[in-house]
Amino acid sequence: MAIRLGDIALNFVADSSVGTLNFYDFLGDSWGILFSHPADFTPVCTTELGMTSKLKAEFEKRNTKVLALSVDDANDHRKWIDDINETQNTVVDFPIIADKDRKVSELYDFIHPNASATATVRSLLIIDPDKKVRLIITYPASTGRNFNEILRVLDSLQLVDSHKIATPVNWNDGDDVIVPATLSTEDAKKIFPKGVTELKPYLRFTPQPNK
């Protein structure tokens, strides 16, 4: 089945590098990132998991739990984690799902047959506390993900939820944001007391509300 934006992320129970794991129980009321890897002991994935580990404090600051997946078994995951820790100078302490039977990969549409009939593509989902899928990014196996972009999108999604705004091209935390088109400029000025700059009736900016 295909997972699309706005869908409810499906629960699963699977073995992992830290033992049997229930996805919903693991997430609790946090935001979540579920990301797939083509295989253990592969170079691009090794750098990605190392970077994810180094960003632990950034994810915690955003109330976000990370969960990786690879189509190898839990014993291989644990051996691979030793390599990641050694080569990337970090300590991986988030779970890596074991998915040798491809059940989770098929549940989340991580197998793209025209890319590989057996290995998962490099997909990533951001899931909000209501278990709704808010972002899907899919890279080819040969290209590592940009984790600065993942953090940027997390910041945007959380700001959108808390302040009902939108974020413009290349937005980063602290930049001006966009007033929703559904608001009149008069109402926007009441809601956003820092001021509203109108370039067009449909294109209006305001300073980031929580800064």
Active site residues: 45
Q: Can you list the alpha helix ranges (DSSP code H) found in 89-146?
A: 103-107
Report d(CA 52, CA 10) in Å as an integer. Answer: 23
- Give me the amino acid identity at 183: L
Q: Which of 67, 63, 77 is nearest to 22 (CA)?
A: 67
Q: For residue 196, give both structure tokens.
A: 């509203």
Q: C-alpha dihedral over 126, 128, 129, 131, to 10 degrees?
A: -80
Report d(CA 25, CA 47) in Å as an integer. Answer: 28
Report d(CA 181, CA 29) in Å as an integer. Answer: 30
Q: Edge to edge, what strands does the sheet with 203-206 contain?
A: 177-178, 203-206, 197-200
* Residue 47 buriedness (CB in 10 A; 0-12 / 13-18 / 19+): middle
